[in-house]
């Protein structure tokens, strides 16, 4: 592991809003001016690199990860040393102008590779929770903070949730087709160096980040994870890759920091508990061949089946499940945190 380098592990924030004025809908938060979004991102210290929208949501590729804007929810995921929590107050402010109030907040992250490089309040989970407690409005009175462990002290899953008691979430984790959904966040480190090289730009290729990104999506097989999804991709100079996928109202997102010594890749998506996620998991493992991987799934209710399905999907690819932790969060649902390591052949 390098002494210092780019921090791939993201901080993720999901905010839900509520509004009872029918005039706000169907657009809701999608009515936020682009200028307002830029101001929010400025507080976080990142910028928009690319964007695309469909009838359900808008997806933005940022200089340090992604932003998704739905009518009643916003998801921001940022890496590096960004100050993600600083987006909360401006978002509450702008949403208020639209007649929307915050009803739920969920903050999650893995363990930083370079924790000492993080700015306050990301200096520790304790500092983050204190900041969140002070920032989030008091109407979100059902709160919980938890560090979910694995067998390694350097790989934990940190979760903070806060909800408004009047608006419990049963209706939220369903999509417009009324399917029960789960969110899956995969974090991978020690990527196969040969596969990671595909995320480096060829020197002086004379191409734009957009077209180089498109090429990387095809070359790596990322477009085969979900062939139905519309992909908005970008390749950073000299290396690094980001993409947002859109499939109806389901999003997916991938971010890659390919440098040896601190290589990292994340894959996140929304899925239906009725569908098999095995194909997706297998493709992701094949694209990155990580040394270590964690899978965190959040759902309002699904069978034990789901987790054994996930473990058995990646087992044939040499990923062995090393730990399993489960915790329940008021109104946000059940979070399961599993870690895996590759059974490598010694050279």
CA distance 222 to 253: 11
Q: For the chain, what is the radius of gyration of the CA atoms?
A: 19
Catalytically annotated residue among 255, 263, 266, 299: 255
Q: Is residue 10 marked as binding?
A: no
CA distance 282 to 12: 24
Count residues contacting other proteins (CB under 8 A)? 26
Q: Is residue 302 marked as binding?
A: no
Catalytic annotation on 79? yes
Least distance in angstroms from the C-beta of 37 to other proteins? 7
Q: Is 211 in the site for other proteins (CB under 8 A)?
A: yes
| Dihedral angle sign, alpha carbons of residues 123, 38, 59, 221 | negative
The values of phi and psi at residue 99, to 5°, are 90, 20
Return the range that interacts with other proteins (CB under 8 A); candidates 7-15, 95-103, 114-122, 210-218: 210-218
| Helix, strand, coil % in the chain, rounded to nearest 5 | 25, 35, 35
3-state secondary structure of 199: helix
Q: Which of residues 241-300 bind other proteins (CB under 8 A)?
A: 246
User: The tokens of 263 are what?
Assistant: 């290589």
Q: Is 327 in the site for other proteins (CB under 8 A)?
A: no
Catalytic annotation on 255? yes
Least distance in angstroms from the C-beta of 120 to other proteins? 32
Q: Is residue 38 marked as binding?
A: no
Report which secondary-structure segment, H or E, holds 51.
strand 48-53
Q: Where are the extended beta strands (E) located within 138-179? A: 142-148, 157-163
- Is there a contact between 90 and 39 (Cβ–Cβ < 8 Å)? yes
CA distance 12 to 296: 12
Catalytically annotated residue among 16, 46, 63, 79: 79
Q: Which of residues 24-63 bind other proteins (CB under 8 A)?
A: 27, 30-34, 37, 48, 50-54, 58-60
Least distance in angstroms from the C-beta of 29 to other proteins? 10
Catalytic annotation on 242? yes
Q: Which of residues 217-236 bind other proteins (CB under 8 A)?
A: 230, 232
Active centre residues (catalytic): 65, 79, 242, 255
> Residue numbers of the site for other proteins (CB under 8 A)?
27, 30-34, 37, 48, 50-54, 58-60, 69, 207-211, 214, 230, 232, 246
Positions at the binding site for substrate: 6, 64, 236, 259
């Amino acid at each position: 592991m390098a002494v210092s380098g780019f921090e791939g592990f993201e901080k993720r924030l999901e905010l839900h809003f509520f509004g009872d004025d029918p005039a706000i809908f169907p657009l809701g938060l999608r009515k936020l001016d682009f200028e307002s979004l830029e101001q929010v991102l400025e507080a976080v210290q990142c910028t928009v690199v690319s964007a695309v929208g469909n009838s359900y949501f808008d997806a933005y590729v940022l200089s340090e990860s992604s932003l998704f804007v739905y009518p009643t929810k916003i998801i921001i995921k940022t890496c590096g040393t960004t100050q993600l929590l600083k987006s909360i107050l401006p978002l509450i402010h702008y949403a208020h102008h639209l007649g929307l109030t915050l009803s739920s907040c969920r903050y999650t992250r893995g363990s930083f590779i370079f924790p000492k490089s993080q700015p306050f309040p990301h200096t520790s989970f304790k500092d983050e929770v204190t900041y969140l407690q002070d920032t989030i409005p008091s109407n979100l009175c059902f709160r919980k903070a938890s560090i979910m462990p694995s067998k390694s002290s350097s790989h934990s899953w940190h979760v903070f949730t806060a909800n408004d008691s009047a608006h419990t979430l049963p209706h939220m984790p369903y999509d417009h087709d009324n399917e029960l959904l789960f969110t899956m966040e995969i974090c991978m480190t020690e990527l196969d160096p040969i596969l990671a090289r595909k995320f480096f730009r060829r020197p002086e290729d004379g191409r734009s980040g957009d077209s180089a990104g498109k090429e990387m999506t095809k070359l790596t097989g990322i477009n085969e994870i979900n062939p139905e999804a519309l992909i908005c991709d970008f390749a950073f100079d000299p290396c690094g890759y980001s993409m947002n996928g859109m499939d109806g109202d389901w999003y997916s997102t991938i971010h890659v920091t390919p440098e040896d010594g601190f290589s990292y890749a994340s894959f996140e998506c929304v899925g239906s508990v009725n569908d098999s996620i095995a194909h997706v998991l297998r493709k992701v493992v094949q694209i990155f061949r990580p040394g270590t991987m964690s899978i965190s799934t959040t759902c309002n209710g699904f069978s034990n089946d789901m987790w054994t399905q996930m473990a058995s999907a990646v087992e044939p690819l040499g990923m062995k499940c090393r730990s399993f932790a489960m915790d329940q969060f008021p109104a946000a649902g059940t979070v399961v945190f599993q870690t895996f390591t590759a059974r490598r052949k010694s050279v």
